[in-house]
Structure 1
Amino acid sequence: MMKGMKNMKRYTIDQLAQMIDHTNLKPFADQAAMESLCREAQQFHFKMVAINSVQTALCKHLLEGTDIHVGAAISFPLGQTTLETKVFETQDAIEDGADEIDYVVNLSEVKNKNYRYIEKEMETITDICREEGVISKVIFENCYLEKDEIEALARIARKVKPDFIKTSTGFGTGGATIEDVRFMKEIVGDDVKVKAAGGIRDAETFLAMIEAGAERIGTSSGVQIMASLQTKETDGVMTIE
């Protein structure tokens, strides 16, 4: 239980596990690593496994008969591919069984202030996901962005309405921060959810991100986080602000 709580919310351990995207995006992850990832996801009942799109079909097979989603990373981790390439990657991953798509925005066009392009990119990929009944997440990679650029992206997202906006890939120079999560959530309100990812390795940081407004957490440390949470809970329930 966290100190200094005012507006407290109660979560079961399973509800907290269902906020975790269990992640292995390493370029050298082999079949054994995917088998381990999917086995752990089932053990702790995580919401999703987050993987490079080439692993989509394998993970879909490994998780067959479960309610655990397969999430494919698109244009990962740089975002520096054409819209046409991102569309193909998205459609290919969905055909392979992806339940969720996490794509990286074109950061060069953000820096160019070409927000018309960014909006078109977001609309196109979000529309594909919506038509296929797949969850869409837009990765900003905040460590490379100024505050006004984060705000501009969040305002576009509030208009386009992907399911989530996401702080980071975890491969940049920095990951999720409490300040960024709060700022992003303030802008999108209840229209879009926020996912925090990058550098979230312990239970305290995990809970702090939820307190700040994140409704999904991307982490490769989900097993350790859940083990820590299970030692803190009382009667299967945790209370956080």
Structure 2
Amino acid sequence: MTSIAKLIDHSLLRPELTEAEVREGCALAARYGVASVCVRPADVPLAAGLLRGTGVLVGTVAGFPHGSSATATKAAEAALAVAQGAAEVDMVVNIGWLRSGDLADVEADIRAVVDAAAGATVKVILENAYLTADQIAAGCRAAERAGAHFVKTSTGFAPGGATMDDLALMRATVSPHVGVKAAGGVRTLDTLLAMAAIGVTRFGATATAAILDDAAHREAHGAPAAAGAAPADGGY
């Protein structure tokens, strides 16, 4: 179960979450030993304090959820988040620029965040629900050229989330040293395993406990991990 836990970024991004719910989410992340929590920018100091010494990283978002913030704003968000204890920043690409084919601007936008993050991990959210296959591939290539560490399918707030076809395309487009993150609709262990089998190495999820409890149950009973379930669409 530990190896599966380290594939998961436990998502705490819903706008209505209370401080108590953020605290509970951080406690859950620490209990299960996931890779990280992904919190709203205002929650970074709280999460960093709660998770210090647990081995669970703190991540946050920039330009979220629409990607249309000015580049300087995204970069400032990233710099502040890292200064406050974030080790990872999931930024939303400028979707309109990508759809327009303004790839030099897309790349510059991403590079500004990578530079501002000063060595922290940067994941680029493409928001695939709004993109064609060619646009997804172009966004992946721009992210890699700009020095991003991951490309990511979705915010979880668009009409659709991660799909197997999109993930396979993303994995085939970027080099092996660039990771692929699935988010939006990763609600079961079988979905996670099916996606991991095609090379996805990080997952944004709110169903973290259900996924990892299932993994522990199978491990305890010697059951083989099942794969091949179709991913559902929807939010984190």
- The alignment's TM-score, normalised by the length of structure 2, stands at 0.91
Give the equivalent residue in structure 2 for 1:94. 82
Give the equivalent residue in structure 2 for 1:228. 214
Give the equivalent residue in structure 2 for 1:14. 2
Give the equivalent residue in structure 2 for 1:3. none
Q: Quote the Cα distance in structure 2 between the aligned partners of 1:15 and 1:114.
A: 39
Give the equivalent residue in structure 2 for 1:55. 43
Structure 1 residue 157 displacement after superposition = 2.4
Give the equivalent residue in structure 2 for 1:152. 138
SS in 2 for 1:128: helix
Deviations 1:104-126 (A, max 9, x none): 00111112211000011111111
* 2:113 paired with 1:125: yes
Give the equivalent residue in structure 1 for 2:18. 30
For 2:10, give the aligned amino acid. Answer: H
For 1:87, give the aligned amino acid. Answer: A
SS in 2 for 1:124: helix
Q: Is the 8 A contact 1:161 1:192 kept in 2?
A: no
Give the equivalent residue in structure 2 for 1:81. 69
Q: Is the 8 A contact 2:150 2:180 kept in 1?
A: yes
> Which structure would you say has the larger RCO, counting Cα contacts within 8 Å and 6 or more residues apart?
1
SS in 1 for 2:76: helix
- Structure 2: segments with no counterpart, 5+ residues: 228-236
Structure 1 residue 89 displacement after superposition = 0.8
* 2:140 paired with 1:191: no
Q: Quote the Cα distance in structure 1 between the aligned partners of 2:31 and 2:224.
A: 20
Q: Is the 8 A contact 1:52 1:74 kept in 2?
A: no
Q: Is the 8 A contact 2:190 2:225 kept in 1?
A: no
Give the equivalent residue in structure 1 for 2:121. 135
Q: Quote the Cα distance in structure 2 between the aligned partners of 1:119 and 1:185.
A: 19
Call closer, same or farther: CA 1:106–1:34 in 2, change over 3 Å.
same
Q: Quote the Cα distance in structure 2 between the aligned partners of 1:139 and 1:186.
A: 17
Q: Quote the Cα distance in structure 2 between the aligned partners of 1:196 and 1:188.
A: 14
Q: 1:71 aligns with which of 40, 54, 59?
A: 59
Structure 1 residue 60 displacement after superposition = 0.5
For 1:127, give the aligned amino acid. Answer: D
Q: Quote the Cα distance in structure 2 between the aligned partners of 1:49 and 1:143.
A: 24
Q: Quote the Cα distance in structure 2 between the aligned partners of 1:35 and 1:127.
A: 30
- The alignment's TM-score, normalised by the length of structure 1, stands at 0.90
Give the equivalent residue in structure 1 for 2:188. 202
SS in 1 for 2:90: strand
Q: Is the 8 A contact 2:156 2:183 kept in 1?
A: yes
RMSD: 1.7
Give the equivalent residue in structure 1 for 2:156. 170
Q: Quote the Cα distance in structure 1 between the aligned partners of 2:116 and 2:35.
A: 22
- Structure 1: segments with no counterpart, 5+ residues: 1-12
SS in 1 for 2:185: coil
Q: Quote the Cα distance in structure 2 between the aligned partners of 1:234 and 1:66.
A: 25
Q: How many residues align?
A: 227
Q: Quote the Cα distance in structure 2 between the aligned partners of 1:36 and 1:102.
A: 22
